[in-house]
Amino acid sequence: MHGFSQHGDSWHELSALVPRSYRWLTPDVRAATLPEAEAELVELWERESVRQSHLIGYSQGGRIALWAACHHPERLLSLTTIGAHAGLDGDDRARRREEDGALADRIEREGIDWFATHWAALPIFAGLANRGPAFLRQVDAARRRNDPARLAAQLRGIGAGATQPFWDQLDRVSVRTLLVAGGDDERYVAFAKRLRYAIPSAVVAVISGAGHAAHLERPAAVAEVLGHHLAASPSPTGQ
């Protein structure tokens, strides 16, 4: 499950680097609420005849993955999040909800080109520049493929500020869980550690030299820890 303003194809580089052969389903998230995203995921599993699956999510997609893991633990073989949390608390949530609402309004007024330039300049994504100009152009082109109305709806309905915290539900997650965070993304390292205490079978992997989008900034390093995690988790046949 990809992050906000991304698409399913943002996983292609990582999936190619993970050892062993897996069948990857990388949908474009169209939902504007967590229950809708959960329904999209279940529909995908049913359509593709998937009884059980490893589940991986980044940022917004990480919240979706955590939510789905709470509500469908029997469908999971393992869980992985990258730069994720289960909702903000108190004043942090109120402030973020206001910011997300203002951003949604401006996306609708200014359009997708304004958003792409604005989003790329956020400090949280500064580490992507280490991949070079060609990679940045690729990421920028993907952002500009978005529909501004959908982005605005997702900010208002599934954004970090809109998400009702569900940390108290995480003890429902019983599968082996990998919590990835970039070492330069201190806030999400802290979130990963909080998730570790909330999820019974969780471990944290901090990727040095990476920020929020660790799987894009250092894909080989993330692929290595993810590969070990998947190999140590149950297969669909239980072998």
Label residue 238 by pLDDT band (50, 70, 90): very low
Q: Report angle CA 119, 85, 55 to the nearest 5 degrees.
A: 95
Mean pLDDT of 186-191: 98
The answer to whether 51 and 197 are in contact (CB under 8 A) is: no
AA identity, residue 82: I
| 76-82 and 202-207 strand pairing | unpaired
Label residue 237 by pLDDT band (50, 70, 90): low
Token digits for 77? 């073989």
The residue out of 156, 175, 200 marking a domain boundary is 156
| 2 occurs within a structural domain | no
The CATH number of the domain holding residue 175 is 3.40.50.1820
| 26 occurs within a structural domain | yes
Question: Are residues 12 and 83 both part of a single domain?
Answer: yes
Q: Give per-residue pLDDT as tens, 64-109.
A: 999 999 999 999 999 999 999 999 999 999 999 999 999 999 999 9
Q: What's the pTM value of the predicted model, to 2 decimals?
A: 0.96
The whole-number pLDDT of residue 239 equals 42
The residue out of 114, 133, 156 marking a domain boundary is 156
| 34 occurs within a structural domain | yes
Question: Are residues 42 and 64 both part of a single domain?
Answer: yes
Question: Are residues 185 and 80 both part of a single domain?
Answer: yes
Question: Are residues 99 and 84 both part of a single domain?
Answer: no
| E strand or H helix that includes residue 202 | strand 202-207
Question: Are residues 84 and 96 both part of a single domain?
Answer: no
Question: Are residues 75 and 181 both part of a single domain?
Answer: yes
Question: Are residues 22 and 84 both part of a single domain?
Answer: yes
Mean pLDDT of 26-30: 97
Structural domain boundaries, residue 194? 8-88+165-232
Q: Give per-residue pLDDT as tens, 193-211.
A: 999 999 999 999 999 999 9
Number of domains the chain is built from: 2
> Which residue has 């995203």 as its token pair?
37
Token digits for 118? 């604005």
The answer to whether 213 and 58 are in contact (CB under 8 A) is: yes
